[in-house]
A = this chain, B = another copy of it.
Amino acid sequence: MQTIQALPKHEVKDLTLATQGFNQINWALQDMPVLASIRNRFKVEQPFKGLRISACGHLTKELAALAITMQAGGADAVVIASNPLSTQDDVAASLVAHYGISTFGFAGETVDTFKHHVEIALNHNPNVIMDDGGDLVAAVLQQKPELGKTLMGSTEETTAGITRLKSLDKQGLLPWPAIGVNESKTKHLFDNRYGTGQSTLDGIFRACNILLSGKTVVVVGYGWCGRGVALRARGMGANVIVCEVDHMKALEAVMEGYRVMPIAEAAPLGDLFITITSNKHAIDAQHFSLMKDQAILCNAGHFNWEYNHDALVEQSVAVTEPRRFVQACKQADGRTLYSLCEGRLVNLIAAEGHPSSVMDMSFSNQALGVEYLVQNYGKLPNNMLTLPYELDYKIAQLKLEGLGIGIDAMTPAMEAYMASWSEGTQ
């Protein structure tokens, strides 16, 4: 490993962390075989040659692997942190020092700093935007709408961002094609379930070191992420209650053996509350007063308002920090409620986010999504789009291969049978 001569523009915490970050990135790379195969192809095919890409995401070792992949494909990339607290400073340093990628973000940055980095990302005049939560896209529309005319498209990682894109799409405001990466099966079936499931508990363990066994855990939101969290919480011995506003999902939760009830009923029962809704104030001010002394709240959704952390702090008579990432919110009635990571993503802030192995698939969707936008520039409608299923499926094939797992192929007779209709009961 050698640092590069001329450093790109950047704002990171400490370049002396670069070596450690370089090792971390390598640690990630070895568990990301699908992205590696894409990167190897990109090196040869140079699909992004001459193109500027602005990427906004959690600045983790896995995002670094994606950035390196885009760079390998010829992109001139600017990478900014999508969250004030989630940046891995060593990784950011290595991106700058070893890979020469313009990187902006550090753990503990203010929202103003974040917004400044968004500006930088826009001023990069990107041909393609890679977004995580929809902030870059919203900023273009709000601050630099002229970019919309030249953008080839954008990709979006999260359910939260896709909600915003769908809203834009519905209102006819989307000026370019946007790939909802989260719509890919190799994204949401894996990252959201197995990634969020594990990393959320990991974040909670690191923040609190509490025993899950025997605890009543209230999972608010039973989308793909929520079911991952519920599954893993149960797998660690917790008794899980699910809150949900969608009857179909709620019914699935019932059938999986979880208790299902409104949050107002769950509030006095829970030892630990985890929000993962893509919505706002799913746990609100009035629910805090119902909770048990020493109840813990945390969030695994994109934005920091899924439970109303601000209201909680406001209605507290004192707020202290007994452990890193833990705010003890003393209530007037003597109870203490604990809020983790100020309501921001517990898995990315108290822990390291999803393991590389599952981000391999998510970020392969990102890479192929951008390539698809570029290859089909001018041909795609200005809507929220999904990556073609054959690309999605290809990622699954490569992943299984990377895991060394073989499966059967249908025989020609099976193929013929599946395409026929005439054979029946005999």
Residue positions of A touching B, CB distance < 8 A: 23-24, 26-27, 30-31, 82-84, 111, 114, 133-135, 138-139, 142, 163-165, 167-168, 170-171, 173, 185-186, 189-190, 193-195, 197-198, 202, 205-206, 209-214, 231-232, 234-240, 243-245, 247-248, 250-252, 254-264, 278-282, 294, 303-304, 322-323, 351-352, 354-358, 392-393, 396-397, 399-400, 403, 405-411, 413-414, 417-426
Residue of A114, A235, A251, A421 with highest tally of chain B CB at under 10 A? A421
Contact of A279 with B417 in the complex, beta carbons under 8 Å: yes
CA distance A90 to B408 in the complex (A): 43
Contact of A413 with B280 in the complex, beta carbons under 8 Å: yes
Enumerate 18 A-B pairs (CB-CB under 8 Å) in ascending A order. Answer: A133-B424, A138-B421, A198-B237, A202-B205, A206-B351, A209-B351, A209-B355, A211-B354, A213-B358, A232-B235, A232-B236, A239-B257, A245-B408, A247-B400, A254-B400, A261-B407, A262-B408, A264-B408
**Among B173, B251, B393, which residue has its beta carbon within 8 angstroms of that of A248?**
B393
Contact of B414 with A250 in the complex, beta carbons under 8 Å: no
The 8 nearest A-B residue pairs measured at CB? A235-B235, A211-B355, A164-B421, A194-B213, A167-B421, A247-B396, A211-B357, A135-B424
A256: chain B residues within 8 A (beta carbon): 213-214, 237
A406: chain B residues within 8 A (beta carbon): 261-262
**Among B30, B281, B405, B413, which residue has its beta carbon within 8 angstroms of that of A413?**
B281
CA distance A252 to B235 in the complex (A): 16
CA distance A196 to B348 in the complex (A): 25
Question: Contacts A163-B418, A243-B408, A421-B165 known; A210 to B260 CB distance under 8 Å?
Answer: no
Contact of B255 with A194 in the complex, beta carbons under 8 Å: yes
**Among B82, B263, B410, which residue has its beta carbon within 8 angstroms of that of A408?**
B263
Closest to A243 in B: B408
**Among B84, B257, B400, which residue has its beta carbon within 8 angstroms of that of A237?**
B257
Contact of A237 with B210 in the complex, beta carbons under 8 Å: no
Contact of B209 with A280 in the complex, beta carbons under 8 Å: no
Nearest Cβ in chain B — how far from A35, in angstroms? 15
A210: chain B residues within 8 A (beta carbon): 31, 355-357
Question: Contacts A239-B259, A425-B303 known; A248 to B280 CB distance under 8 Å?
Answer: no
Contact of A245 with B407 in the complex, beta carbons under 8 Å: yes
Closest to A420 in B: B167
CA distance A30 to B335 in the complex (A): 13
A206: chain B residues within 8 A (beta carbon): 202, 206, 351
